[in-house]
Amino acid sequence: MSLSKPVYSLLGVYLEQLFNHPVRTKSITSSVLAASANYTAQRIAGHKKINQESVIAYGLFGLIFGGSVPHYFYQTVERLFRHDLKFRRLFQFLSERLVFAPFYQLLSLYFLSIFEMNSHEVAVANLKKLYWPLLRTNWQYLSIPVIINMTYVPPMLRTVTMSIVSFIWVVYIAQWRRRLQDKQAGGADGKNTK
């Protein structure tokens, strides 16, 4: 089955934008994918009414951080580990898993909460509850896609590739965060009724 001419044209325009304006294109792509993932997570959870603030928060996070931070990280890793370095891919993988993933997980959990109009205290409390369980899960399930991305995907496309993988990850995070918020709301209601 071949792709139609409009699809090829659209793909060509996208790749041209990616080459000429990488951070902007990756940020917009990440924003659309993150907002779509949050919307999808809410639909999967069976919400009758979509929490638009949460969708906007995920889209805003993707726009501000989702394209730029990974773009500069992958650029730095490419420069830091020369092509002639023995075990180059291993060092790139370890830097992604042990430096980037913990930092980006912290950044995402904190700012998603802030963008949802929570206070700093609530954002930090959510971060304390979710950070380690999500990071361990990230290491467990996203390490194989990271290996594939760093081994087989050209550097220019790594951020976009991980944004697509992140769609599934964001659906997972959004559901996990929503369960925590529902549990906290239920706990607060229970305290108020006593």
Q: What is the pLDDT of residues 75-114, one digit of tens each?
A: 999 888 877 788 888 999 999 999 999 999 999 999 999 9
The pLDDT of residue 2 is: 59
Residue 54 contacts residue 38 (beta carbons within 8 Å): yes
Residue 62 contacts residue 23 (beta carbons within 8 Å): no
Q: What are phi and psi of 84, to 5 degrees?
A: -90, 0
User: Could you count the other beta carbons within 10 Å of the beta carbon of residue 136?
Assistant: 10
The pLDDT of residue 173 is: 73
**Average pLDDT per consecutive 10 residues, the chain (194 residues; last block may be shorter):** 71 89 94 92 84 93 94 91 84 94 95 94 93 92 92 88 86 74 68 42
The pLDDT of residue 121 is: 96
Q: What is the pTM of this model?
A: 0.82
Q: How far apart, in whole angstroms, are the C-alpha atoms of residue 30 and residue 67?
A: 6
Burial of 164 (0-12, 13-18, 19+ CB in 10 A): middle
The pLDDT of residue 189 is: 54
The pLDDT of residue 106 is: 96
The pLDDT of residue 69 is: 95
